[in-house]
Structure 1
Amino acid sequence: MSQKRLKDIHLRDPFILADDDSKKYYLYGSIGQNVWEGKAIGFDVYISEDLETWEGPLPAFRPSPEFWADRHFWAPEVYCLNSRYYMFASFKADHAGRATGVLVSDHPAGPFKPYVRALTPENWECLDGTLYIEDEKPWMVFCREWVEVKDGEMYAVRLLPDLSGPAGEPVLLFKASESKWAEGVGEGNENYVTDGPFLHVLKNGDLAMLWSTIGKSGYTMGLARSASGSVEGPWVQDQDPLFSENGGHGMLFTTFEGDLMLTIHQPNQHPNERPVIFKAFEKDQNLRIYMQGKEEKTC
């Protein structure tokens, strides 16, 4: 098995699971080589003990010929619940709406097998579902794509306890244009992108959501906060983005030493996108990151 540094790993939408059982880190993402075109390979995983040297890629998921989707396998996120590992990911096929479904495995490296075809509404164009547990009840936050609704939307849907399906109707949380750091794209600048939600409770109890869009300098990631402390909101956007220089689709994880870390992909242009890891911390009720050894809130 080969060893790689992050700069040698071509992944978008990185997600890192710090697995308590193995005391290893597992890196997943959208495989960069065929993220846009061609038949999807599946999902790979890289494994590390120090976040610097990674072994892989290992095949975490390879679809069977009967699998319903054949392209745009995007943004896998893996969670350990009741000693099983659940992968939330986006899938697409002709004549079917893009959907977030669930795969399952007994090991963080897989092999993952299909569990739920779709947790998102039939015929909607959706992506980037992320799991959040509130009061012991599972929710999924996901994006409804701008390609369908123009002003990209963020939704939450409560799930059944075993994650086998939705337990209610999706709740609209906000639209991309509500953020001051979102820029319109396309003809007439009327399209606004929603990408990559990830929920995190700050030390002061605020429920915050990382999410990404297109800003003045390219791909941009910022924070929204729930005024009620609940996933149903209402959600208020921070005035300034957290990361504004052509990188995003971020998530937070805690190292085995207790350090809070942020991973994103940067830059956003194909085929140069790579996973990047920053040390994160909270200051003045804000999430901040270290850039090149310096404390930064935005960059």
Structure 2
Amino acid sequence: MSIELELAARQAFAPGTLPATPPARTSYDHVVLPGDFPDPTVVKIGDTYWASATSAEWGAIFPIFSSKNLLDWELVGHVFPEKAPDWAGSNFWAPEFYQENGRTYVYYTARRKGGMLCVAVASADHPAGPYVDHGPLVGQEAGSIDGFAMPDEHGDLYLIWKEDGNSCHQDTPIWAQRLNDERTALIGEATELFGNDAKWEGPLVEGSALVRHDGWFYMFYAGNSCCGKGCNYATGVARSRNLLGPWEKHEQNPILDRNATWKCPGHGTVCELDGRWFLLHHAYAAESHEFVGRQGLLSEFTWNAEGWPEFVNRSPQAPALTDMSRFNIADEFEGEQLGLAWQWPLGQVPAATVRHGQLHLAADNSRLGAVVARRTHAATYKAATTIDFASLPVDTYAGLAAVGDPYNALALMAGNGQLHIWHLRSGKHQSLVQVFIEPCDTLSLRLEVWGGQRYRFAYSTDGTTWQPLPTENFSLNGTYLPPWDRGVRVALVAQGETGGVATFNNFVVRNQR
């Protein structure tokens, strides 16, 4: 959607005349990163805003978005588009941009292979990349996460981060330590800023994002449980005249909490547009919750007379998404490569080739197989694909799946003249249904889901008449699919021995509320 420019000039009126109705104030309270985009970050560089978000266990790592107006965002690339840095194995969380002297830095969290969570940094000559990784800056015994770069009152740049004590039933202090001139290593001593000492914060404080306003440093931060059905995340704020403290927490914390539409709002970054202030943060939509995941919301705040930030009704004012057709997908595999919105399980980069309007996906013999997936936007939807059935090699299966992760999925798979419904839960594989199919050139597969829970599969040999797979004797329930920190993806799958290739002609998703 486009933004109407607000009128800045006043109109003079003759005596006795009434002034015209002033133009409506544009609302910026919207879902701007719909789908699973936790821990969003935003920075303005020149006349362009740049955003990213947690990618967790999905590649490509850390999406990069650009915008001129904070409302319309374009996915333009990824920080690590092909593979993870050599030192890191998982948990790619909470990227934060910092720009200085024409160079852009991304401070991010990842887990060292076989080790602890660390805050690391990569840099590029342009916000869109390509990025060069410089490795970890800090990795405490309990883990270090949620790095944020901020200059102090003297202009010296510091890294702010959280010690991940809640992972081992300890407190979670927020630390600060100076960065070197290259911005790629810590120097000097670390200073503890504050910890989780308020009741609403529960076992943790995290997700620090700082801004300086009217001589104060303000730290927006999150507290309590971030994720899943039982989350109770919320946002607080603290302030200090000096970066290293002492810090004062706002008596009205949390300043941003749940409402009937949005649950567990937190972990955001502050930005400004035309003198108005916003927090880009995540929250679960109440209707779809963990099945879609934590979505990126823009929430406006103002500064009160005491200098504290205030949100309307202390909760996100973004309206619920209603026209879900805006997020429908119809991919005919035009061009020469998959679009940037496609994902794959971390460390399992698929051998995927796009040519002549088809996706050719090389099979993998892992539990589920090779996977290319898209984020979901609703908990109720239909998805479909058409495969080249006649050309499938022996013992190669092509399919359509709802995927939480490579260990948890529900899939409709075709191969060896048959259709199977595969149930994959906690890594355990089970074929629930087997149906023989008469020979045909192409075969269409369809997945339907209601509320993220009830699933049904169907197939068509002519693309028009659909045959449901028999599931009378058991219930296809997908409540187990979402991991604790991620939403469900819809995926195309190729499973089998090396050398087999599955060919897909299209991919369609139709959303409903």
TM-score normalized with structure 2 length: 0.49
CA distance in structure 2 between the partners assigned to 1:74 and 1:132 by the alignment: 19
Shift in Å, 1:128: 0.3
After superposition, the C-alpha distances for 1:164-216 in whole angstroms (9 at most, x for unaligned) are 2111122112221x124212xxxxxxxx122200112232x222211101179
| Match in the other structure for 2:293 | 272
Shift in Å, 1:85: 0.4
Corresponding position: 1:6 with 2:32: yes
Corresponding position: 1:288 with 2:310: yes
Task: Label 1:66 to 1:9 Cα distance change in 2 as closer, same or farther (>3 A).
Answer: closer
2:233 corresponds, among 212, 215, 219, to: 219
1:42 corresponds, among 37, 53, 61, to: 61
Task: Label 1:262 to 1:96 Cα distance change in 2 as closer, same or farther (>3 A).
Answer: same
2:275 corresponds, among 240, 243, 258, to: 258
1:207 corresponds, among 182, 203, 217, to: 217
SS of the residue corresponding to residue 181 of structure 1 reads helix
CA distance in structure 1 between the partners assigned to 2:67 and 2:217 by the alignment: 29
Contact 1:40–1:71 under 8 Å retained in 2: no
Shift in Å, 1:63: 5.8
Task: Label 1:148 to 1:175 Cα distance change in 2 as closer, same or farther (>3 A).
Answer: same
Task: Label 1:88 to 1:66 Cα distance change in 2 as closer, same or farther (>3 A).
Answer: closer
Task: Label 1:7 to 1:232 Cα distance change in 2 as closer, same or farther (>3 A).
Answer: closer
| Match in the other structure for 2:144 | 126
| Match in the other structure for 2:256 | 243
| Match in the other structure for 1:142 | 161
| Match in the other structure for 1:27 | 51
Contact 1:30–1:76 under 8 Å retained in 2: yes
After superposition, the C-alpha distances for 1:122-144 in whole angstroms (9 at most, x for unaligned) are 54401001011011101111000
SS of the residue corresponding to residue 224 of structure 1 reads strand
- Letter matched to residue 169 of structure 1: E
Give the alignment's Cα RMSD to 1 decimal: 2.3
CA distance in structure 2 between the partners assigned to 1:169 and 1:149 by the alignment: 25
Contact 1:250–1:263 under 8 Å retained in 2: yes
Task: Label 1:71 to 1:63 Cα distance change in 2 as closer, same or farther (>3 A).
Answer: farther
Shift in Å, 1:161: 2.1
CA distance in structure 2 between the partners assigned to 1:61 and 1:252 by the alignment: 24
Larger radius of gyration: 2
- Letter matched to residue 258 of structure 1: G
After superposition, the C-alpha distances for 1:199-239 in whole angstroms (9 at most, x for unaligned) are 12232x2222111011797111101122xx11221222212
SS of the residue corresponding to residue 128 of structure 1 reads strand
Q: Which runs of 5+ in 2 are unaligned?
A: 1-30, 259-263, 317-513
After superposition, the C-alpha distances for 1:237-285 in whole angstroms (9 at most, x for unaligned) are 2122111211100211112x33221111012954321000022221121
Task: Label 1:43 to 1:66 Cα distance change in 2 as closer, same or farther (>3 A).
Answer: closer
| Match in the other structure for 1:15 | 41
CA distance in structure 2 between the partners assigned to 1:87 and 1:76 by the alignment: 6
Greater mean alpha carbon deviation, residues 44-53 or residues 80-89:
44-53
CA distance in structure 1 between the partners assigned to 2:254 and 2:130 by the alignment: 37
SS of the residue corresponding to residue 137 of structure 2 reads coil
Corresponding position: 1:233 with 2:245: yes
Shift in Å, 1:57: 5.2
Contact 2:66–2:75 under 8 Å retained in 1: yes
Contact 1:287–1:297 under 8 Å retained in 2: no
Corresponding position: 1:59 with 2:78: yes
1:172 corresponds, among 161, 184, 192, to: 192
CA distance in structure 1 between the partners assigned to 2:85 and 2:234 by the alignment: 37
Contact 1:40–1:73 under 8 Å retained in 2: no
Shift in Å, 1:82: 0.8
Greater mean alpha carbon deviation, residues 41-50 or residues 80-89:
41-50
Shift in Å, 1:40: 4.9
| Match in the other structure for 2:208 | 197
Shift in Å, 1:72: 0.8
CA distance in structure 1 between the partners assigned to 2:99 and 2:245 by the alignment: 26
Contact 1:125–1:148 under 8 Å retained in 2: no
After superposition, the C-alpha distances for 1:76-97 in whole angstroms (9 at most, x for unaligned) are 1111101000000001134221
Q: Which runs of 5+ in 1 are unaligned?
A: 184-191, 290-294
Corresponding position: 1:104 with 2:134: no
Contact 2:208–2:267 under 8 Å retained in 1: yes
Identity of aligned residues (%): 22
Contact 1:201–1:208 under 8 Å retained in 2: yes
SS of the residue corresponding to residue 247 of structure 1 reads strand
Contact 1:248–1:266 under 8 Å retained in 2: yes
Contact 2:158–2:177 under 8 Å retained in 1: yes
Task: Label 1:113 to 1:149 Cα distance change in 2 as closer, same or farther (>3 A).
Answer: farther
